[in-house]
A and B are shown apart, each in its own frame.
Chain A
Amino acid sequence: MKQVNANVDESAAALKKLLPADDILQFCFTDGTGRRMICLFADAVTDKDLLGEQVFRPLMQYTGGEKAKQVAAHVTAPEVRTERALEKLAAEVLAGNPVLVWEGMDEGLVVGTKKVPARAVTEPPTDVAIKGPREGFVEDVKLNTALVRKRLKTGELRIEFLTVGRRSQTSVALCWLDGTSVQSTVDEIRSKLSAIDIDAVPDSSYLARFLSGRPYSLVKQVGTTEKPDIFCAKIAEGRVGVLADGSPIALTLPYMLIEDFQSGEDYFVPAARATFTRFLRLFALLVAIYLPAFYIASQLFKLQLLPVKLLLTIAGSIRDIPLSPSLEMLLVLLVLEVLNEASIRMPKYVGMALSVVGALVLGETAVSAGFVSTPAIIIIAFSGIGLYAVPNLIEETSVLRLMMLLAAGSVGTYGIILLSAFVLIYLVSTENYGVPLAAPFAPFIRRDLRDALMKYNLISLKERSQTIGSPNKRRQK
C-alpha cells in the first residue's frame, strides 16, 4: 500500500490520482514558518466553515515543529488523527473528513469536519403514534446512533461500526446491549454482515436479505422499525439492532411474527385496550386474506356458507355479470393493486384526482355497467382496508391473499384449508438465529403469551422474553 512521503506535492498528486473526481478539492497554503501545506476535501460533504475556523486559521499562524503530533495539537478540531496509507486517506476524504499533508512529514492528518446533508428528525409516515414519542430515524447513521444513545444511556450499549458494500462503503452500525443480548446472535450477525460482498447497499432492506435465515422466503424474517423508541425497546429486550447509513429503517433480530401485531402505542395505553387492538389487527389481517377467498369458494362450490338473505342479495347483484366469480374477484383485486401502486408513486395533487377516478368513476361505473358486482367491490375494499391494519406485513399478506383466491377459485374451501395448512407448517418450521418465527404460539411458550396477542399490565411484565433467551432474564424487580 502506497504511503505519504515527505514531498508534499508528490503526496497530494498521489491522493488526487486516487480521487480524480471534480468534487475533490485541493487547498494549498503556508503555515507561519512558510512550510507548504495541502488540504484535500470532498466539496459537498465537508463543513468548510469549520475547516477554515478550526484547521486553516490556526495552522496559518503555526510556527512549531513538523511532527504530525505537534501539528495536530495546534488544530482546534476535536476529532483529529494521523494516517500514512494513501488509500485509507483517500477513503477518509470520500467519507467527508479532510486530509492534510505538508512538507517534510511522511504522515497525513485526518480532521473530522464531516457535514453530511441530513433531513430533520420527523415522525415516520408509516408508524404514526397518537400517544408516545414521535421521533423517527433519518438517513444519517450517526444521527440515528445518537437517537439510540439518547434513550439508552448505559455503558452496556455497544455500537460497532462495520463497512459493507465494495463501492458504496456504507457504514453499518451493529447495536446491542452487552449482557442482555445473546452473544452468539451478535457474533452470527457480525459475521454475516462481514461476509456480504455486494457493490452497494442503498438501503437496509438489502442487508435484511443477507441476514435472513431463509433469504428466498416470502415471509419476512427481520424486524423493521423507523422509530428509535421501538428500536431501543427491542434492544433492551435482548434483540440486536442494525442501522445502515442512508436508510431510515432500522433492522432488529431475531424477529418473531407477533412483533408486527404489536405497536409502540400498545405500551402507552391501558393493557385492555392494547389487547383489544392486537386482536383487532389479527382479525383485520385474517379478513384481508380470507374474505375474498371464502366469498369465491362459497359462490362456486358451497352456497350454504352464506346466510340465505345475503345469498339472495348476492344472487341479485351477480345475475348479469359476464365474468365468472373468481375472474371477477381477480379483476377487482388487480384494479385495487394498480390503484394502490399508482397512488403511492403519483404526485400528491394527481393522487387526489386518481382517488376520485378510482373510487367513484371506476367503481361506480363498473357496477352500473354490469362489469363487476357490488359485493365483489365491497369485499375487496374491506380486504384492502384490513391489509393496512398490519402495515409491516402488507407485502406478505397481499401475496397470500392472491394465493388464497387462486386456491378458492380452483379447489374451493378445501383449497383454502390445505393452503392454510401449508402456510402453518411453513411458518412453524422457520427459525432465525435459533428463535422460531411463530413463537410464542408455536412452540407454545406460556410466559411470553403475556405480551403476545394478550397484553398484560406493564407492572406484571417482570421478565424478558423467554423465546429470545436473553441471559439477563429480569426486566424489573
Chain B
Amino acid sequence: MKLSARQICFFLAAVAPAGKLVLMPSVLAARAGNDLLFPVLAQIAVQAALVFAVLLLARDGRTVYAMIADMAGGLIARTACIVFAAFLLFASFVPLVEQKLLVQSLFYDTLPSYVAFAPFFLFSAFLCAKPLAALGRVWDVLALLFLTGFAGILLLSVGSADYGALAPVGNAGAERFGRGLAETTGWFYDAALLLPLAGKFEYKKGLAWKGALCSLLGGALILFFLATYYGIFQEIAVTQLFAFAHMSKYFSGITALGRIDYLFIFAIAFVMTFCAAMPVQAAADALTDAFGRTKPLAVSLSVLFNAALFAVMLVFNFAPSETIAAVTRRLFWIFPLFTAGAPLLLWTAVGIGRLIGRKTHAKK
C-alpha cells in the first residue's frame, strides 16, 4: 500500500520540524547570535527547493533504485542505494545523540545508565520492520500531536519572549552567518529522507508544490520557535540545550497549576522519538528496495542497523558533545553532498535518459 500525498505533506509540515528543536537552537545561538534566524531561513529555502525536486522526480512512480537501474544497470543502482543508506545511517548520529541527551536531561533527575536508552533501538527496529503504510499512518497521528504540543509550548512561552532581542539585524556578520549555515546542515536533510520514498506514494497533480509549501510551513514553525527561544533566553540562549522543555516554565500560571507544560513537552518528545528513528528507517527502506522487497529482509536489515547503531552509541556513550561537534563542524559537508547532490544527480541522469530516449525515438 502506498503512502498518500497528505501523509507526505503532514510529515514535512508537522513531523520533521520536531527533530530540529533539540540542540539546533543552541548551536545556532552560539554561531549566529541574534541573527540565528537567517542561516535557518536559507536552509529552509534550500530544503523546500530540494523537496520540490525530489517530489517532482517521483512523479513517474519509479523508485530511486528503479530509476538508476533503468539507466545504469542493477549493479550501479545497488551500489548507489548502499552508499545512500550509509549516508542515512551517518545522518542518524545527530538525532540519536540528541535523543539520548534529551532522555537524560528531560526524563531523569539523576544520570541514568545507558541501558535506559537501549529500548529505543528495540522501538526503532520495530518501526523499521513495519510496512510504509504504517509509517504514513503514524505521521497522521504525530502531526496532530506535534501541532498540539508546539502550540501549547509556544502559547505558554510567547508572553516571556522579548522579540526585540533579535535586533539589530545583521549584527553577527557574514562569517558567523556562514558558520551557522554550515553547522546546521546536519538537521536539514528532509529531502534525503523523502528520496527512498519515491515511487511509494501516490503522486497527485501539484504534490511537488504542496510538498515545498508544507516544507516552508514547517520551516515557519521552526523560525517562530527560534525567535521565541532567543527572545526568552537572549545572551544565555547558547547554554539552553533543550530549550523546548524549559521555555514554557516561566509562564505565570505554572506556579499555581504545576508543570502542566509537561503535557506538551511529552507530546513533542514523543514525536521526536519517531524523528530520531526516521533516518534508520529510510536507510533500511533504501536497501530493501535494492535487494528485493521481502519481509524477512526488511526485518533483518532493521535489526542489523539498530544493533550496529546501538553498538556505536555504546562506544560514543561518554562523548556525546564531541560526536555532535564532529558531525556538525567537521563532517557537515557530507549532508549537502547527499541531500542536494543526490536529487540533482538523479535529475540530470533522468533528464539525459529522456533526451536519449527521445533521440532514439526520433531516429526510429
**A425 near B138: Cβ-Cβ < 8 Å:** yes
Are A303 and B109 also in contact (CB < 8 A) when A425-B134, A436-B137 are? Answer: yes
B181 at the interface (CB under 8 A from A): no
- A429 near B130: Cβ-Cβ < 8 Å: yes
Docked complex: A149-185 residues within 8 A CB-CB of B: none
The reply on B154 being an interface residue by CB < 8 A is no
B119's partner among A297, A411, A425, A444 (CB-CB below 8 A) is A411
Q: Does A469 interact with chain B (Cβ within 8 Å)?
A: no
A421 to B281, CA, bound (A): 15
| A81 is an interface residue with CB less than 8 A from chain B | no
Residues of chain B in range 335-360 having any CB-CB distance to chain A below 8 Å: none
The residue on B at minimum CB distance from A305 is B262
Residues of B within 8 A of A420 (CB): 270
Give every chain A residue within 8 A of B269 (Cβ-Cβ). Answer: 417
Do B137 and A429 touch (CB < 8 A)?
yes
B266 to chain A, nearest CB (A): 7
One of B43-51, B120-128, B161-169, B198-206 contacting the partner: B120-128
Determine whether B302 belongs to the interface, using a CB cutoff of 8 Å to chain A: no
- B116 partner, pick from A310, A412, A436, A438, beta carbons under 8 A: A412
Instruction: List, in ascending order, chain A residues with CB within 8 A of B266's CB.
Output: 413, 417
Q: Is A414 an interface residue (CB 8 A)?
A: yes
B131 contacts chain A at the CB level, 8 A cutoff? yes
A309 (CB) vs chain B CBs: closest residue:
B258
Cα distance, A308 to B249, chains bound together (Å)? 14
Task: Determine whether A418 belongs to the interface, using a CB cutoff of 8 Å to chain B.
Answer: yes
A353 to B140, CA, bound (A): 49
Q: Which residues in chain A, 264-308, are within 8 Å of chain B measured between CB atoms?
A: 297, 301-308
Measured between alpha carbons, how far is A305 from B107 in the docked complex, in Å? 9
By the criterion of a CB under 8 Å from any partner CB, how many residues of chain B are at the interface? 38
Complex formed: what's the CA distance from A438 to B103 in Å?
28
**Residue of B whose beta carbon sits closest to that of A420:** B270
Asked whether any CB of chain A lies closer than 8 Å to the CB of B92, the reply is no
CB neighbours (8 Å) of B120 from chain A are 418
- The answer, yes or no, to whether A428 is at the interface (CB within 8 Å) is yes
Asked if B257 is an interface residue, CB under 8 A from chain A, the answer is yes
Contact yes or no, A442 B141, CB < 8 A: yes
B176 near A: Cβ within 8 Å? Answer: no
Task: Give the distance in Å from the alpha carbon of A120 to the alpha carbon of B112 in the complex.
Answer: 61
Quick check: is A443 within 8 A (CB to CB) of the other chain?
yes
Task: Indicate whether A27 reaches chain B with its CB closer than 8 angstroms.
Answer: no
Task: Give bound CA distance, A303 to B108, whole Å.
Answer: 9
Does B39 have its Cβ within 8 Å of any Cβ on chain A? Answer: no
Contact B119 A443 (CB under 8 A): no
A422: contacting residue among B110, B123, B131, B141, CB under 8 A: B123
User: Shortest Cβ distance from B36 into chain A, in angstroms?
Assistant: 28
Within 8 A of A (CB), among B260-293: 262, 266, 269-270, 273-274
Q: Is A458 an interface residue (CB 8 A)?
A: no
The yes or no answer to A424 lying at the interface (CB within 8 A) is yes
Decide if B273 touches A418 in the complex (CB within 8 Å).
Answer: yes
Partner of A304, one of B109, B112, B127, B137: B109
**Of A301, A304, A414, A444, the contact of B259 (CB 8 Å cutoff):** A304
Cβ of B219 < 8 Å from any Cβ of A?
no
The interface residues of chain B lying within 8 Å CB-to-CB of A428 are 134, 137-138, 140-141
| In the bound complex, CA of A275 to CA of B85 (Å) | 46
Whether B7 sits at the interface, judged by CB under 8 Å, is yes
Interface range on chain A (Cβ under 8 Å from partner): 20 to 34
Q: Are B107 and A425 in contact (CB under 8 A)?
A: no
Q: Are A443 and B4 in contact (CB under 8 A)?
A: yes
Q: Which residues of A contact B112 (CB under 8 A)?
A: 301, 412
Output the nearest chain B residue to A411 by Cβ-Cβ distance. B116
- By the criterion CB–CB under 8 Å, are B126 and A422 in contact? yes
Let me know if B127 and A425 touch, CB within 8 A.
yes
- Closest B residue to A443 by CB, please name it: B137
Does chain A have a CB within 8 A of B6?
A: yes
The verdict on A124 contacting chain B, using a C-beta distance below 8 Å, is no
Instruction: Flag if A301 contacts B134 (CB, 8 Å).
Output: no
Q: B130, A307: Cβ atoms under 8 Å?
A: no
Give the chain B neighbours of A58 by CB distance below 8 A. Answer: none
The verdict on A310 contacting B258 (CB below 8 Å), with A421-B273, A425-B127, A442-B141 known, is: yes
B92 to chain A, nearest CB (A): 17
Contact of B108 among A306, A412, A436, A438 (CB under 8 A): A412
Residues of A within 8 A of B258 (CB): 306-308, 310
Which A residues are in CB contact (< 8 Å) with B136?
Answer: 443
Look across to chain A and name the residue whose beta carbon is closest to the beta carbon of B267. Answer: A417
A370 interface residue, CB < 8 Å from B? no
Asked whether A414 lies within 8 Å of B103 as measured between CB atoms, the reply is: yes
Cβ–Cβ contact B138 & A424, under 8 A: yes
Chain A, residue nearest B138 (CB): A428
- For A301, give the chain B residue with the smallest CB separation: B108
Cα-based distance from A420 to B107 in the complex (angstroms):
15
A436 to chain B: which residues have CB within 8 Å?
137
A425 in contact with B126 (CB, 8 Å): yes
Chain A residues whose CB sits within 8 angstroms of the CB of B262 once the complex forms: 305
Q: In the complex where A414-B116, A428-B137 touch, is A302 in contact with B108 (Cβ < 8 A)?
A: yes
B56 interfacial contact with A, CB 8 Å: no
A441 at the interface (CB under 8 A from B): yes
Encoded as 1 (CB less than 8 Å from any A CB) or 0, chain B from 286 to 326 comes to: 00000000000000000000000000000000000000000
Q: Would you call A415 an interface residue if the criterion is a C-beta within 8 Å of the partner chain's C-beta atoms?
A: yes
Whether the pair A412, B140 counts as a contact (CB closer than 8 A) is no
Taking a contact as CB atoms under 8 Å apart, the answer to whether A302 and B107 are in contact is: yes
A417-B266, A429-B130 in contact; A444/B274 too (CB < 8 A)?
no
| Whole-angstrom distance between the Cβ of B313 and the nearest chain A Cβ | 15
Does B220 sit within 8 A of A, measured CB to CB? no
Q: B259 to A305, Cβ gap below 8 A?
A: yes
Specify the chain A residue showing the minimal Cβ separation from B102.
Answer: A414
Interface residues of B in 184-224 (CB under 8 A from A): none
Q: Can you spell out 23 A-B residue pairs with CB atoms less than 8 angstroms apart?
A: A301-B107, A301-B108, A301-B112, A302-B107, A306-B258, A411-B116, A413-B266, A414-B107, A417-B266, A418-B273, A421-B127, A421-B270, A421-B274, A425-B126, A425-B134, A428-B137, A428-B138, A429-B131, A429-B134, A429-B137, A438-B141, A441-B144, A442-B140
A residues near B (Cβ < 8 Å) are 297, 301-308, 310, 411-415, 417-418, 420-422, 424-425, 428-429, 436, 438, 441-444
When A and B form their complex, which 10 residue pairs have the shortest distance between CB atoms, in order from nearest? A307-B258, A429-B134, A442-B137, A428-B137, A444-B140, A413-B107, A442-B140, A414-B107, A442-B141, A414-B103
Besides A413-B106, A418-B122, A420-B270, 13 other CB < 8 A contacts?
A303-B109, A305-B262, A306-B258, A307-B259, A310-B258, A414-B103, A417-B273, A418-B123, A422-B126, A424-B138, A441-B144, A442-B137, A443-B137
Query: Interface on B for A, CB 8 Å cutoff?
Result: 4, 6-7, 10, 103, 106-110, 112, 116-117, 119-120, 122-123, 126-127, 130-131, 133-134, 136-138, 140-141, 144, 257-259, 262, 266, 269-270, 273-274
